[in-house]
Amino acid sequence: MTGGSASGAERPVPRIDHVMVLVGEDVLTAVDSNSFVEGRLGRVKRKVADSSVAGSYSTLGVAGRNTLVELFGSPMPSASPLTGGLVFSFEEPGSSPVAHRLLDEAGLRHQHQLVTRADPGSGEQQPWYHLINADLGEGSRILLFLNEVTPEYFESLGAVPRPDGAMRRADYLDASLGTAEDGRLLRDLTGVTLETGPERAERLAAVLGALGFERTAAADGAIRLSGEDFELVLNAGEGTTDRIAEIRLSVAETAPGELPESVDFDGTSRILFEPQGTARWIFDPAS
């Protein structure tokens, strides 16, 4: 399904929206103060939020055309300590209830709710987005969210749905941050490598598989889950701490020698630029 509204006969398409990573205050400060990040890499979004789901928190986002990396300096608000999260979006209206039904039919535990926000003028609660929070097991330090925003949310940003009603990620980011056609390098997030335990890996694979991701096994034992323009690689091992190890990026192709080989952030995170318009953002394990 590529457009229009979701129906009971169609499988909704989850597209990666953003990836959340707990990096620590030193790395966050290093990224925030790096002139290359805001000057060349992507549109930067500093956010202080008060969420009915997550509480109060602040982040730094680095955005491409449709997707962004969201960095946390202090632990993400949650009942248990978190190290990261994957947030997917449904762009076609009506997708969230269908996804909820598919997960129910597959026997996959999750929470499904309509998140609201108070209207600044009237104080009345308005629908903001439909949230599916997948149950990844007790003690999970990784979140898996599947969101569908409402027309009220889009309107609040000044974004306009497409003629078929689709609420595109690019339109939301352009309304929030200005157009992406400004010569910056970052195009989009194309993949994530996540380290986790075997049981959690199977839960992630089951949820995304129910929504159309294709599963393959790599020679090194990793689980590869391929969706629309995005691949999640799960490195599963007993006793492994849940964490985002790497984010793969598509970037604008440049002339040889125009870009540095790498950009380092406080010695524990770095972006490595590769040939043919690709890059990898590496996050070292906590010491």
DSSP letters spanning 230-271: EEEEEEE-TTPPPEEEEEEEEE----TTSS-SEEEETTTEEE
Residue 168: closest CA among 3, 9, 7: 3
What's the confidence (pLDDT) of residue 276? 84
Q: Which residues pair with 280 in a beta bridge?
A: 248, 272
How far is residue 286's CA from residue 22's CA, in Å, rounded to a whole number? 10
Q: Which of 58, 81, 106 is nearest to 205 (CA)?
A: 106
Report helix, strand or coil for 75: coil
Which CATH fold topology does 15-283 show?
A: 2,3-Dihydroxybiphenyl 1,2-Dioxygenase; domain 1 (3.10.180)
Residue 161: predicted pLDDT: 96
Identify the pLDDT of residue 90.
98
pLDDT tens, N- to C-terminus, the chain (287 residues)? 344 565 544 899 999 999 999 999 999 999 999 999 999 999 999 887 666 555 566 799 999 999 999 999 987 766 678 999 999 999 999 999 999 999 999 999 999 999 999 887 788 899 999 999 999 999 999 999 999 999 999 999 999 999 999 999 999 999 999 988 778 999 999 999 999 999 999 999 999 999 999 999 988 889 999 999 999 999 999 989 999 999 999 999 888 888 999 999 999 999 999 988 999 999 999 87
The β-bridge relationship of strands 214-217 and 125-134 is unpaired
278-283 sheet: strands from edge to edge = 214-217, 223-227, 230-236, 186-196, 243-251, 278-283, 269-274, 262-265
Neighbour count for residue 252 (Cβ, 10 Å): 12
Q: Which H or E run contains 118?
A: strand 110-118
Asked whether the beta carbons of 84 and 244 are under 8 A apart, the reply is: yes
**Closest listed residue to residue 1, CA positions, set 273, 184, 216, 227:** 227
Q: Which of 34, 207, 24, 17 is nearest to 111 (CA)?
A: 207
Backbone angles phi, psi at 97, to 5 degrees: -60, -35
pLDDT tens string 118-146: 887 788 899 999 999 999 999 999 999 99
Domain ranges of the chain: 15-283
SS3 21: strand
Are 241 and 195 within 8 A, CB to CB?
yes
The pLDDT assigned to 135 comes to: 98
Burial class (CB in 10 A: 0-12, 13-18, 19+), 98: buried
Closest CA relative to residue 192, chosen from 86, 111, 103, 38: 86
Tokens of 248: 């793969």
pTM reported for the whole predicted model: 0.92
- CA gap 98, 285 in Å, rounded: 37
